[in-house]
A and B are shown apart, each in its own frame.
Chain A
């Protein structure tokens, strides 16, 4: 089996929930003694503010391409069998899953480490954006992983976070935010 056939990468259209059973089934194999998973879900609070939902959008072709590249990197670093990555677009209410990663491996060490790598790299490099919607406003989030790694993506200088401060939240002061799930 080529490595392409062992990776399942899906960017789900708005309204499609993440079916985690499907992805766990995909990575399962008799020879894999471990399945490591990560599920990112919408939290109800961020810094004391009540979150209604997250809204996701993506540069889909590039996101798919970047995820494929991340899977290839993971395979070169760890001995893993299959990978499944799914990211949902559109509104994701509190408690629901926006991103799901499943990795199968013979031994758990490789699977767990690869799983962590995959979500860390996703947050640092994959062109997907989320808007956090509160009762009194909304704000584009910025991943700290991206801000730290940005100079490694392109050879640029003096990059900094800025979009998070540019959306007005009614009644609150403007803030710029980092996000981690």
Chain B
């Protein structure tokens, strides 16, 4: 099977519409996790189909074009690609006292890449509201109603509070 792949690939490299895809990938990345059915690829006048059988193969008409000889590795890579597309999270940010005055809003929703730290969230807030730079050095942060550190990781639907120096009592 590997020989067939190599022959077909060498032919295919002359075919522009497949070059960037196959050559750059070397093996085929098939979004197995995101599709529940056969996925049809139309590249110019070709009739390209992807079979989701194991191992996953790429057909061009009735010809076998290429096959994922590395199996699992490709699956994981694709899963990662698919997961990355959906791995942004949304948190709620609360602003108090001087921080609220500087931004003009008491709260907002913030979309961040999954795995972001509270520091990264603060960086993003300062980009959105440059005036926050004024208080950046003196605020503390609270995550889900508890004081937190710069390096804490935020999760989807977390509540991040920007807390300027307090003055209760």
A residues engaging B (CB < 8 A)? 40, 56-59, 61-63, 65, 87, 98-99, 119, 122-123, 125-131, 140-143, 146-147, 150, 153-156, 158-164, 166-167, 179, 181
B residues engaging A (CB < 8 A)? 94, 96-98, 134-135, 137-138, 140-142, 145-150, 161, 163-169
Residues of B within 8 A of A179 (CB): 167
Residues of B within 8 A of A153 (CB): 140, 147
Residue from A119, A123, A127, A158 within 8 A of B163 (CB atoms): A127
Please report the C-alpha to C-alpha distance between residue A49 and residue B128 in the assembled complex, in whole angstroms.
36
Contact B138 A162 (CB under 8 A): yes
Residues of A within 8 A of B98 (CB): 140, 163, 166-167
How many Cβ-Cβ contacts under 8 Å join chain A to chain B? 114
Contact B145 A181 (CB under 8 A): no
Please report the C-alpha to C-alpha distance between residue A141 and residue B169 in the assembled complex, in whole angstroms.
11
Contact B168 A156 (CB under 8 A): no
Please report the C-alpha to C-alpha distance between residue A87 and residue B135 in the assembled complex, in whole angstroms.
26
Contact B94 A59 (CB under 8 A): yes
CB distance from A137 to the nearest CB of B (A): 14
Contact A123 B96 (CB under 8 A): no
CB distance from A59 to the nearest CB of B (A): 6
Contact B169 A59 (CB under 8 A): no
Contact A181 B161 (CB under 8 A): no
Contact A59 B163 (CB under 8 A): yes
Please report the C-alpha to C-alpha distance between residue A146 and residue B166 in the assembled complex, in whole angstroms.
7
Residue from B142, B147, B169 within 8 A of A143 (CB atoms): B169
Contact A154 B134 (CB under 8 A): no
Please report the C-alpha to C-alpha distance between residue A58 and residue B165 in the assembled complex, in whole angstroms.
12
Residues of A within 8 A of B142 (CB): 59, 62, 127
- The residue on A at minimum CB distance from B168 is A128
